[in-house]
Amino acid sequence: MKISVIGSGAMGCLFGGFLSRAGHEVLLYDIFKAHVEAINSQGLQIEESSTGETLLLRPRASWDPREAAEAELLIIFVKSTATQGAAEQFSRLAGRGTLALTLQNGLGNEEILRRAFGEENTAAGVTSQGATFLGPGRIRHAGSGPTYLCMSCGDNRRLRPVIEAFEAAGFETKEESRIAELIWSKLIINVGINALTALTGFTNGRLPAYPELRAIMEDLVNEAAEVAKAAGIPLHHADPLGAVLETCRKTGANRSSMLQDFSRGTPSEIDFINNAIVREGAKLGIPTPVNRTIANLVKALDAFHQEADKS
């Protein structure tokens, strides 16, 4: 399969690297030129946190969007803040049968891709895999877990070759029939973890060790679950907080994507995660004061990081 990964940070490199190892023709697209150059000249290094082993893989990388044209599968891993631009750019370059798959965090990405590519060419997924960016050409595989995929149009037959490819690459992958349930179930995991790691600087696994953080996590998750219930969206998890805590355990060494954004001083995806809960809650008349407070803290620090970059 000809696959282009759009946004080849930690997670994009993890999926693209393992798919290339499984024999697929993979292009890693990213705008970070030093990262692209390192992959092309030295290969992609993936450190396995569970074993300490470092894999050296050799997918092709490029910062030229034209090289991603005509892929059978586009895996979208850009930051949610960049999804609109990526959708507009790559839908113009895509072939008639190209399938665009979002494995991004947050609420709203699938809708953006559906508008650009059409629902018959759009799929959404969630993954419990975790990865940390270590530097140009280097990532850490920080945790494993299942990946679920669903077509936007509801007909999952087109996903079968994708699922086979993911399984062959070492990713436990399952078909899902209800896309809203899929996205909201992962959203609630991100709601409970990402902002707290960014604000504290902790890895995922350290959050539950502190009763004060666990209490905030519980409030964040409970608010999100109430919004989902009011919206009529069932969740994968009968115990949402338990699912968040289990994710913390399975991805204990992982530095969440939002923590990595803070470390680099780049804008976070808070508007697609905790702030999405605030917006949806407001529509449904569900109060979300803890999510609002946490989102405001993150947005204030986002603004501070941007000011610091300009000075």
Half-sphere exposure of 170 (CA within 13 A, CB side): 14
**In terms of Cα–Cα distance, which of 101, 84, 88, 83 is closest to 5?**
101
For 138-183, the pLDDT digits (tens) are 999 988 889 999 999 999 999 999 999 999 999 999 999 888 998 9
User: Does residue 274 carry a pLDDT above 70?
Assistant: yes
Q: What percent of the chain has pLDDT over 70?
A: 100
Question: What's the confidence (pLDDT) of residue 63?
Answer: 97
The pLDDT of residue 307: 86
Other CB atoms within 10 Å distance of the CB of residue 214: 18
Whole-angstrom Cα distance, residue 135 to residue 154? 38
Flag the least confident range among 101-105, 219-223, 253-257: 253-257
Query: Measured between alpha carbons, how far is 290 from 297 in angstroms, rounded to an integer?
Result: 11
| Average pLDDT across the chain, whole number | 95
**Per-residue confidence (pLDDT) for residue 31, from 0 to 100:** 96
| Residue 58 banded pLDDT, cuts 50, 70, 90 | very high
Indicate the pLDDT class of residue 107, thresholds 50, 70 and 90: very high
- Residue 236: the pLDDT is 85
pTM of the model: 0.90
Give the model's confidence band at 96: pLDDT under 50 very low, under 70 low, under 90 confident, else very high: confident
Query: Which range among 13-17, 88-92, 256-260, 307-311 shows the weakest confidence by mean pLDDT?
Result: 307-311
pLDDT of residue 293: 98
Per-residue model confidence (pLDDT) at position 237: 87
Rounded average pLDDT over 110-120: 97
How much is the pLDDT for 190? 96
Percent of the chain at pLDDT above 90?
86
In this structure, of 44-48, 99-103, 132-136, 181-185, the range with the lowest mean pLDDT score is 181-185
Averaged pLDDT, 82-87: 97
| Residue 305 burial class via C-beta count within 10 angstroms: exposed 0-12, middle 13-18, buried 19 and up | middle
pLDDT at 178: 87
pLDDT in tens, 119-138: 999 999 999 898 999 999 99
Per-residue exposure over 170-205, b if at least 16 CB sit within 10 Å of its own CB, e if not: ebebeebeebbbbbbbbbbbbbbbbbbbbbeebbbb
Walk me through the domains of the chain, giving residue ranges and CATH numbers. 2-177 (3.40.50.720), 181-310 (1.10.1040.10)
Question: What whole-number distance in Å separates Cα of residue 226 and Cα of residue 218?
Answer: 12
Assess contact for 165 and 19: CB atoms under 8 A: yes
Residue 306 has pLDDT above 70, yes or no: yes
CB 141 within 8 A of CB 18: no
Is 65 a residue whose pLDDT tops 80? Answer: yes
Give me the pLDDT at residue 308, please: 80
Is the model more confident about 13 or about 253? 13
**Residues in Cβ contact with 6 at an 8 Å cutoff, skipping those fewer than 6 apart:** 12, 29, 68, 74, 75, 76, 77, 78, 86, 90
Q: Would you say 183 and 235 are in contact if contact means Cβ atoms under 8 Å apart? A: no
